[in-house]
Structure 1
Amino acid sequence: MASEDVKASESAVEKIVNLAEEAKLARQEIKPTSHAVISICKSLVAGGVAGGVSRTAVAPLERLKILLQVQNPHNIKYNGTISGLKYIWRTEGFKGLFKGNGTNCARIVPNSAVKFFSYEQASKGILYLYQQQTGNEDAQLTPLLRLGAGACAGIIAMSATYPMDMVRGRITVQTEKSPYQYRGMFHALSTILREEGPRALYKGWLPSVIGVIPYVGLNFAVYESLKDWLVKTKPLGLVDDSTELGVVTRLACGAVAGTVGQTVAYPLDVVRRRMQMVGWKDAASIVTGDGKSKASVEYSGMIDTFRKTVRYEGVRALYKGLVPNSVKVVPSIAIAFVTYEQVKDLLGVEIRISD
């Protein structure tokens, strides 16, 4: 009996030890998972802050760009960047410069958060596949692969937040003569759903998605490739011994990246905005076949919008608002990239956008 009791005691001790080991292993498994969740949250926060800060900084130029894109060519109110800003100030005051910015930030904050995070994940996945394909574990992302990762990030972020962009555009251009008077973001969403149906929230989605492929893709590809080139070549003493780029240098990289991306994708942005404004006779262009201002042009799709815009207003119409947009994009993209990296640094996450 004593022998059996001893065996039972030993068996119980073994079970307790095994349970303790299992609990220890479970805790070890939970720690990295918890760390990963925290890291994801920090990355999303950094991306959201970057989007909000950068977009608010250039809100007046953003509004002027949209007004230039959709104004009636036979009743010009906003003629150029400086004169356009002065006209808004004179007719609507300081608040007019930031009209729609609250809704814009409500869209851009999650958009930016998803975009930066999606780029990190896409670049890691693409790099892994590239390393497996080449058999070189030390291989790094090429500019073309970064372009692909950026395109994936742009498509995901655009699709996830597109209804907010639609609403922001409507609120930004509405006047006293607009068919609907939106009191705010949620009122605009409910009104569009009720009066025009769910599909109206995605008007212009196709050219938007096509547009973000070169726009966001080139932003990330040019920005990171420029940074890598500067770190490797160290021209003009722009990189210190620690191979870290200064804030001003990174701002310059972001400015170049933004300028390249928006120049390539801008015509698609004009088409998207016009498709969103269909039915707004005081916001959209009003032209007919004889070139006179008689009725609003109705667009049946992306190709039709391109065709009618070029036919009635010429190729230059596809670049309406490009100047204020260029002035806006240079600081906006630069501020977004640098703010993202700085916030991640403050939160204790790796600075580099992609590993």
Structure 2
Amino acid sequence: MASEDVVGKTSATIANLAEEAKIASEGVKAPSRHALLSICKSLVAGGVAGGVSRTAVAPLERLKILLQVQNPHAIKYNGTIQGLKYIWRTEGFRGLFKGNGTNCARIVPNSAVKFFSYEEASKGILWLYRQQPGNGMPDAELTPVLRLGAGACAGIIAMSATYPMDLVRGRLTVQTDKSPSQYRGIAHALGTVLREEGPRALYKGWLPSVIGVIPYVGLNFAVYESLKDWLIKSRPFGLVEDTELSVTTKLACGAVAGTMGQTVAYPFDVVRRRMQMVGWKHAASVVTADGKSALEYTGMLDAFRKTVRYEGFGALYKGLVPNSVKVVPSIAIAFVSYEMVKDLLGVEMRISD
């Protein structure tokens, strides 16, 4: 009789453990599926934001690159209006959007990774910050400096992951109908660069990109989030009546963030783009009359030195005007598109959460 009681109790214990394990297993799976779905939605929102914002300003993006790398001894583009008119006259409407397909193929995954990385980096940095004594845990919030760090991490990860596409985009954007040899598309360009210049060529200009992306993306996120927080908390001039900013106000925050970030980082973007053209003997716009490339650099510092020495300090800001015209709506549209798509997809977490 005693043995039967023991067996019965043992069986009941095993059944209870099995039931608890089942409940625990289901409890783990549900949040995991929910988290995975949330990640996918966040990536989609970031990708859509990047594609929409870049397509909207594609003509200005192309003109900026052409101004950055054009031969100083054979000037074709003298300014924003003249440059756009010249492209329209010589290449037609399609010329204004040349390279935009490649740009979207790059910017969609880049933007998706960037926004998602920022959110994850923000959570990680905030967690570490709250572990430090004297930071007011668990109520501590991200400071502008911490947001700068999270944005820098996000920019480096996204840029590094898609850099070969950026190099190819730059070359497809620069080539014209008069280029001696034509890249026929993304795959052909990647294959040609690998075959003629080697795998390392796909990362030409990576170092100035890394250095430049820290203040650029970092300031974008830090200024955007800090402005939003300040407006919500202080409600200056009666602009904010509740805790939710209007689309117009968000656009203004994004515009300010984009202007500050691109002004600080722009010289690195010029050097990066010039280094990407080194070794491309068929780039018509950067080749001199005797067939020699006007862009020959041994590294980042050499590119800075030669650019300033032969063209003056102002050359580091070539294309700044069309880029300024472009970057304000581009960054603003990207931030607003991202939050709107996340709202449509039902993602609970916003950038600033």
Structure 2 residue 168 is the aligned partner of structure 1 residue 167: yes
Tell me the CA shift for residue 77 of structure 1.
Answer: 1.4
Tell me the CA shift for residue 12 of structure 1.
Answer: 3.3
Q: Distance in 1 between matches of 2:82 and 2:178?
A: 23
Structure 2 matches for 1:1-355, cutoff 5 A?
4=3, 8-133=7-132, 134-137=134-137, 138-241=139-242, 243-279=243-279, 280=281, 282-284=284-286, 286=288, 296-350=294-348, 352-355=350-353
Tell me the CA shift for residue 38 of structure 1.
Answer: 1.1
Q: Distance in 1 between matches of 2:235 and 2:176?
A: 52
Q: Check 1:252–1:351 CA distance in 2 against 1; reply closer, same or farther (3 A cut).
A: farther
SS at match of 1:139: coil
Describe the superposition over 1:34-84 as per-residue Cα deviations: whole angstroms up to 9, x where unpaired: 111111111111111110110010001000100111111222211111111
Q: Distance in 2 between matches of 1:15 and 1:285?
A: 79
Q: Distance in 2 between matches of 1:230 and 1:285?
A: 50
Question: Does the CA contact (< 8 Å) of 1:174 and 1:181 recur in 2?
Answer: yes
TM-score (norm 1): 0.93
Please report the RMSD computed on the Cα atoms of aligned residues, expressed in angstroms: 1.9
Question: Does the CA contact (< 8 Å) of 1:345 and 1:351 recur in 2?
Answer: no
SS at match of 1:283: helix
Tell me the CA shift for residue 7 of structure 1.
Answer: 5.0
Tell me the amino acid that sits aligned with residue 152 of structure 2. Answer: A
Tell me the CA shift for residue 6 of structure 1.
Answer: 6.2
Tell me the CA shift for residue 5 of structure 1.
Answer: 5.3
Describe the superposition over 1:168-206 as per-residue Cα deviations: whole angstroms up to 9, x where unpaired: 001011123435411111111111111110000000000
Q: Distance in 2 between matches of 1:297 and 1:184?
A: 23
Q: Distance in 2 between matches of 1:111 and 1:294?
A: 34
Tell me the CA shift for residue 141 of structure 1.
Answer: 1.1
Q: Check 1:182–1:155 CA distance in 2 against 1; reply closer, same or farther (3 A cut).
A: same
Structure 2 regions of 5+ residues with no counterpart? none
Tell me the amino acid that sits aligned with residue 44 of structure 1. Answer: L
Question: Does the CA contact (< 8 Å) of 1:238 and 1:246 recur in 2?
Answer: no
Q: Check 1:157–1:264 CA distance in 2 against 1; reply closer, same or farther (3 A cut).
A: same
Question: Does the CA contact (< 8 Å) of 1:150 and 1:221 recur in 2?
Answer: yes
Q: Distance in 1 between matches of 2:192 and 2:232?
A: 52
Tell me the CA shift for residue 350 of structure 1.
Answer: 3.0
Question: Across the two proteins, how many residue pairs are aligned to each other?
Answer: 349
Q: Distance in 2 between matches of 1:278 and 1:145?
A: 37
Question: Does the CA contact (< 8 Å) of 2:307 and 2:316 recur in 1?
Answer: yes
Tell me the CA shift for residue 114 of structure 1.
Answer: 0.6
Between the two proteins, what is the percent identity of the paired residues? 76
Structure 1 regions of 5+ residues with no counterpart? none
Q: Check 1:297–1:10 CA distance in 2 against 1; reply closer, same or farther (3 A cut).
A: closer
Question: Does the CA contact (< 8 Å) of 1:251 and 1:334 recur in 2?
Answer: yes
Q: Distance in 2 between matches of 1:170 and 1:116?
A: 26
Question: Does the CA contact (< 8 Å) of 2:71 and 2:294 recur in 1?
Answer: no
Q: Check 1:285–1:334 CA distance in 2 against 1; reply closer, same or farther (3 A cut).
A: farther
Tell me the CA shift for residue 319 of structure 1.
Answer: 0.6
Q: Distance in 2 between matches of 1:12 and 1:179?
A: 82
Q: Distance in 1 between matches of 2:178 and 2:93?
A: 21
